[in-house]
Structure 1
Amino acid sequence: MNSPDAPHQVNLNVTSSQGNWLAILTVSITAFALVTSEFLPIGVLNAIAQELDVTVGSAGLMITLPGIMGAFAAPLVSVWAKQLDRRYLLIGLTAIMVIANYMTSVVQSFEWLLFSRFFLGIAIGGFWATAIALSGRVAPPHLPIAKATAIVMAGVTLATVLGVPIGTWLSELYGWRSAFLITAIIGAVILVLECIFLPKLPPSSAIQYRDLPALFINPKARKGLVIILLMGLAHFSTYSYLAPFFKNVAGFDGSTISALLLIYGISGFLGNAFAGFSSNINVRYTLAGIGVCFAIVFMSFPYFAVHLFGAYLLTALWGFAFGAFPTSANIWMFVHAPESVEKGMPLFVGMFQIMIATGALFGGYIVDHFSANSLLYSVLIFIGFALISVFTYSRGLNNPKIQCPNT
């Protein structure tokens, strides 16, 4: 018997005959490259700050600026690209990613470096505002949308498991610029694959500006947005400074930090798989469990993560919690506001980018003016309010009905 928060007999079958396995795998690889590009600075903030003679907090703007631009690009690209074939849209966004990463690898001033990251935000916001909606159309015929979306999201998980740790390792061997250059080369290969394998994807419907706030208007979705925003701010405020904590506070070397980031990614993969199962049973309690995991990590990190065993254990728990977080956030929306998801997705993506940008900015300020430990303690406030919101009764949350139309 399903829990009250479980979706009821959702039919997510795809009837499109355009897609194929090579097309959806190409989109998944694109997601891998984009997420790697967005979060690659996390593992090399110290090296960038040292070479360009800026503080670690200032270097954190490399994560903040793509988030700011992505927050604007997600809704604007969705509305402006009304009649544009989505195939050409994805190709264009991938080209922007290639150019931005190449610029990051060669520019010599911090100002131009930040401009290249701001430019990258266009690709990030535009891609995520369209990729989930397109997943069913690029998939093989009759593959359920849920599985198609999972394949696309696998690129995100792979980026956390391999992309950022490998980028950190490459930067230790050849310098931080090499990591961005290699990412640009990978993007160029993906660009060729998209031109070959992506089918024509004419827009099925046009999104208007008045459609964008759909999730914010729905009260059950709005409650989820508050919970997601608070948890997201707590995570992104601290995750951006994970590598600096290990280096400057714990005193670990580069190879150890790379191994810890790898553990984080592997745990995230497991968390993502767990959330897909757990959220179908009870998405509300799944989010509550994620919040508790975050709280344990942030309270314990200053005391136990300075020792190698504690660092591995808490990093694994952190990765597991965040791996489960985006999946649970999306399932909350599909469970409690299925009729609003398609139109509200661009602003939902924009909110995630705002979380990344605001979190990195807040974290940078606390790290520069106080300490990494102060940052970990301060975000417990966000987690506390999120848990209160999860368990605060809202009418209708315990009896959701979901009806997801075919693509």
Structure 2
Amino acid sequence: MPSISQNPHSLPEHIQQSVKQQWLAILSVAVGAFALVTSEFLPVGVLNDVASDLGISAGQAGLMVTLPGIMAAIAAPLLSVGIGALDRRYLLIGLTLVMIIANSVVAYAADLSLLLFGRVLLGISIGGFWATAIALSGRLAPDGMGAAKANSIIMAGVTLATILGVPVGAWLSSLMGWRMTFVVTALVGVPVLLAQIFLLPRLLPEKAIRITDLPALFINPLARVGLIAVLLIGLAHFAAYTYVTPFFKQSVGFDGPTIGSLLLLYGVAGFIGNIFAGFAANRSVRHTLLLVTLMIAVSTALFPHFATGKIGAAMLIVLWGFAFGAFPACANIWMFVVAPNDVERGMPLLVAMFQVIIALGSFFGGQIVDQLGSSVLLTLATALLCCGFATVLVLGRNVGNSLVVQR
């Protein structure tokens, strides 16, 4: 009688269904990530409408973008410690429910305080979701997929949201108003919630995360190398990319549709880069991260000189988008490679660090642009990227190429 290994077609139906459920569980988390990131950046496209409707200033409406990031940085470590040994399945389901509630609160907010309360709720959901979903992606992956590809699928939801979230939000707002746009976003979360309830497996932690566990990745020497590289590369990217639109508009003179098309190219290239990272980092995360850093550095270095025409701008923005689309996946996979047993404990602080990098990069980038101009900002960003490249090249030379995940 042939064994299961000899005849794969003889697999019992419940095992076949289990594999299908694993794939669907991964997809439910990826769509959840899409809904979260869309919700986070949706106000960018509707700020003026919100300000006009509620009778507040554009700056006050801008807090809709700022508050979720701050709350996410706080919530990531606090939630991870506070839930103790709770099954992470219930946490992911609960956070998706919080996202639905948050968008509903915003949609029906009658004043600024209720509006911002909804955005604070969203920030809690974002921080807890990232700290949990990324760390557990390897355990959700079907046998043979690998954590790198599972992580890449989840991050693809993020990248797709950066492409579609803001423009689709602005389009829906023009059709049915900003409030209905948030209602639609809340409704998108409902099938995601149901899918997670029925498809996610039990995700019990090896042990409850304590405050003393949070620095796990910071203590591991090779993980610390990755964190330094993420800090340098992330600061450079967010400082420079946040002010690419003003560069195109003020320094080059591109019109709105041209800038929109270039940003769409960036997003599409980022989506492809994310898929590339899932395969390439499985072979060598160090070489993939080196390539990604080099590509971003080339983009920032050449931007002031060759992005002044449409063809040059398109080529450089595609190169930049492809590279940065691969960067978050590389950063996560690096941690899986060098510290597979520390990822779940250390991911909350990594998520918090990433949120802080976004805020600091944008803030200091704005200061440099105001005082010294875009060209100086791009030059300083290139210098930071070179430092990140050297960090990975020299200090990360002992990082292996195999990805080991505890299942």
Measure how far apart 1:318 and its partner are: 1.5
Question: What amino acid is aligned across from residue 132 of structure 2 in structure 1?
Answer: T
Q: Report what 1:84 is aligned to.
A: 86
In structure 1, the gaps of 5 or more residues are: 1-13
Provide the C-alpha distance between the structure 2 equivalents of 1:274 and 1:320, rounded to a whole number of angstroms.
Answer: 9
Measure how far apart 1:319 and its partner are: 0.8
Q: Report what 2:228 is aligned to.
A: 226
User: Could you say if the C-alpha distance between residues 287 and 25 of structure 1 is closer, same or farther in structure 2, counting changes exceeding 3 Å?
Assistant: closer
Question: What amino acid is aligned across from residue 206 of structure 1 in structure 2?
Answer: A
Measure how far apart 1:146 and its partner are: 4.0
Q: Identify the range of structure 1 (264-273 vs 282-291) with the bigger mean alpha-carbon deviation.
A: 282-291
Query: Which of 312, 315, 336 is 1:310 aligned to?
Result: 312
Question: What amino acid is aligned across from residue 323 of structure 2 in structure 1?
Answer: A
Q: Does 1:323 align with 2:332?
A: no
Measure how far apart 1:107 and its partner are: 4.4
Q: Does 1:299 align with 2:301?
A: yes
Question: Which string of whole-angstrom CA distances, capped at 9 and with x for unpartnered residues, describes residues 206-245 of structure 1?
Answer: 2222111111111221111111111111222333444455
User: Could you say if the C-alpha distance between residues 333 and 22 of structure 1 is closer, same or farther in structure 2, counting changes exceeding 3 Å?
Assistant: closer
SS in 2 for 1:221: helix
Q: In the comparison of the two structures, how many residue pairs are matched?
A: 389
Q: Is the contact between residue 20 and residue 141 of structure 1 (CA under 8 Å) also seen in structure 2?
A: no
Q: Is the contact between residue 63 and residue 360 of structure 1 (CA under 8 Å) also seen in structure 2?
A: no
Query: Which of 57, 62, 84 is 1:53 aligned to?
Result: 57
Measure how far apart 1:326 and its partner are: 1.2
Alignment of 1:361-380 (within 5 A): 361-366=363-368, 375-380=377-382
In structure 2, the gaps of 5 or more residues are: 1-14
User: Could you say if the C-alpha distance between residues 110 and 174 of structure 1 is closer, same or farther in structure 2, counting changes exceeding 3 Å?
Assistant: same
Q: What is the percentage of aligned positions where both structures have the same residue?
A: 55
Measure how far apart 1:50 and its partner are: 8.4
Q: Report what 1:160 is aligned to.
A: 162
User: Could you say if the C-alpha distance between residues 39 and 246 of structure 1 is closer, same or farther in structure 2, counting changes exceeding 3 Å?
Assistant: farther
What is the TM-score with the length of structure 1 in the denominator?
0.80
Provide the C-alpha distance between the structure 2 equivalents of 1:132 and 1:343, rounded to a whole number of angstroms.
Answer: 12
Provide the C-alpha distance between the structure 1 equivalents of 2:144 and 2:315, rounded to a whole number of angstroms.
Answer: 41
Provide the C-alpha distance between the structure 2 equivalents of 1:108 and 1:237, rounded to a whole number of angstroms.
Answer: 35
Measure how far apart 1:198 and its partner are: 3.5
Question: What amino acid is aligned across from residue 28 of structure 2 in structure 1?
Answer: T
SS in 2 for 1:206: coil
Measure how far apart 1:380 and its partner are: 3.3
Query: Which of 121, 126, 129 is 1:127 aligned to?
Result: 129
Question: What amino acid is aligned across from residue 296 of structure 2 in structure 1?
Answer: F
Question: What amino acid is aligned across from residue 209 of structure 1 in structure 2?
Answer: I
Question: Which string of whole-angstrom CA distances, capped at 9 and with x for unpartnered residues, describes residues 330-387 of structure 1?
Answer: 2322333334323222222221122122223334445566655554444334223323
Q: Is the contact between residue 46 and residue 244 of structure 1 (CA under 8 Å) also seen in structure 2?
A: no
SS in 2 for 1:299: helix
User: Could you say if the C-alpha distance between residues 349 and 157 of structure 1 is closer, same or farther in structure 2, counting changes exceeding 3 Å?
Assistant: same
Measure how far apart 1:139 and its partner are: 5.0
User: Could you say if the C-alpha distance between residues 60 and 359 of structure 1 is closer, same or farther in structure 2, counting changes exceeding 3 Å?
Assistant: farther
Q: Report what 1:148 is aligned to.
A: 150
Provide the C-alpha distance between the structure 2 equivalents of 1:218 and 1:94, rounded to a whole number of angstroms.
Answer: 32
Q: Report what 2:404 is aligned to.
A: 404
Q: Is the contact between residue 336 and residue 401 of structure 1 (CA under 8 Å) also seen in structure 2?
A: no
C-alpha RMSD of the superposition: 3.5
Query: Which of 196, 201, 212 is 1:210 aligned to?
Result: 212
Measure how far apart 1:320 and its partner are: 0.7
Provide the C-alpha distance between the structure 2 equivalents of 1:108 and 1:254, rounded to a whole number of angstroms.
Answer: 32
- Structure index of larger Rg: 2
Provide the C-alpha distance between the structure 2 equivalents of 1:134 and 1:232, rounded to a whole number of angstroms.
Answer: 23
Q: Identify the range of structure 1 (276-285 vs 71-80) with the bigger mean alpha-carbon deviation.
A: 276-285
